[in-house]
Amino acid sequence: MTNGKTDKVKGTANKAGGKVKEAAGKATGSTETQAKGKAQQAKGDLQKGKGEAKEKLKK
């Protein structure tokens, strides 16, 4: 089981990677890549939220 900080870091990385993927999709005109980037960003948001919730529960 991961701790809150690990989840937050993974979430931030997923969000950043998703933004890059979305931008690449826009640059190449690929709506599929844009959609994958947006989905990855959403996953990152969820991971960050999960990490924050875990940290609050620890206190």
Each domain of the chain, given as residue ranges in start order, spans 4-58
Q: Tokens 């980037």 belong to which residue?
A: 37
pTM as predicted: 0.88
- Quote the CA–CA distance of 17 and 19 in Å, as a whole number: 5
Q: Each residue of 18-46: pLDDT tens digit?
A: 999 999 999 999 999 999 999 999 999 99
- Quote the CA–CA distance of 44 and 59 in Å, as a whole number: 23
Cβ-based burial of 47 (10 A; exposed 0-12, middle 13-18, buried ≥19): buried
Higher pLDDT, 1 or 4: 4
**Percent of residues, the chain, with pLDDT higher than 70:** 98
In terms of DSSP H, where are the helices of the chain?
Answer: 4-28, 31-58
Average pLDDT value for the chain? 95
